[in-house]
């Protein structure tokens, strides 16, 4: 009889510990990008403005994205890739440290210097982890 009571107490304890672990530690969502846009600006609250996929040669291209599940110290890379008519590429990467949790962030591609312009043509932009694995397919935009 005492063995049965001891066994039931052990089972109830394990179930309680399992529920506590489930509630406190194992329910964290993995990192995910939930929305992303190319746009002409970012407002004071961090939201995208003037979503578009066509920019002028003197424009700054903003890449805005929302994410969930970031952990302290997590960083990603935003990679802009220019693709010429022959398929040759040039890339520009911007490392970005993320705020833990669920937030938005952005990166930008600007003309290289005052009086210079971006090269007209097709560009892709994507978010990469530290192993260069992309979080979703690239977005494409054009510089005219």
> For 24-64, how does the pLDDT look when each residue is reduced to its tens digit (9 = 90+)?
455 567 999 999 999 999 999 989 999 999 999 999 999 99
Mean per-residue pLDDT over the chain, rounded: 85
Which structural domain, as residue segments, surrounds residue 125? 32-143
Q: How far apart are CA 76 and CA 131, in angstroms?
A: 10
| Residue 123: Cβ-neighbour burial (10 angstroms; 0-12, 13-18, 19+) | buried
pLDDT value at residue 64: 96
Task: Give strand pairing partners of 36.
Answer: 65
pTM attached to this predicted model: 0.77
Q: Is residue 124 within 8 Å of residue 90, measured between CB atoms?
A: no
> For 88-97, how does the pLDDT look when each residue is reduced to its tens digit (9 = 90+)?
999 999 999 9
pLDDT value at residue 27: 52
Say if residue 11 is in the same domain as residue 80: no
Q: Is the pLDDT confidence value at 13 over 60?
A: no
Nearest to 36 by CA among 127, 123, 108, 98: 127
Say if residue 71 is in the same domain as residue 2: no
Which domain CATH number covers 78?
A: 2.60.40.10
> For 101-120, how does the pLDDT look when each residue is reduced to its tens digit (9 = 90+)?
999 999 999 998 888 899 99
Please give the average per-residue pLDDT across 76-98, as a whole number.
93
Number of H helices, E strands in the chain: 1, 9
When divided into structural domains, the chain yields a total of 2
Say if residue 127 is in the same domain as residue 106: yes
């Amino acid at each position: 009889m005492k063995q049965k009571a001891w066994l039931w107490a052990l089972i109830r304890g394990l179930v309680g510990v399992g529920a506590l672990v489930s509630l406190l530690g194992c329910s964290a969502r993995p990192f995910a990008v939930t929305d992303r846009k190319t746009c002409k600006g970012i407002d004071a609250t961090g939201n995208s403005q003037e979503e578009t996929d066509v920019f002028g040669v003197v424009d700054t291209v903003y890449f805005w994205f929302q994410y969930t599940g970031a952990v302290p110290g997590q960083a990603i890379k935003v990679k802009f890739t220019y693709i010429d008519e022959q398929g040759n590429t040039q890339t520009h990467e911007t490392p970005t440290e993320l705020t833990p949790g669920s937030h938005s962030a952005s990166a930008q591609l600007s003309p290289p210097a005052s009086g210079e312009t971006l090269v007209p043509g097709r560009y892709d932009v994507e978010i990469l982890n530290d192993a260069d694995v992309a979080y979703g397919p690239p977005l494409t935009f054009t510089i005219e």
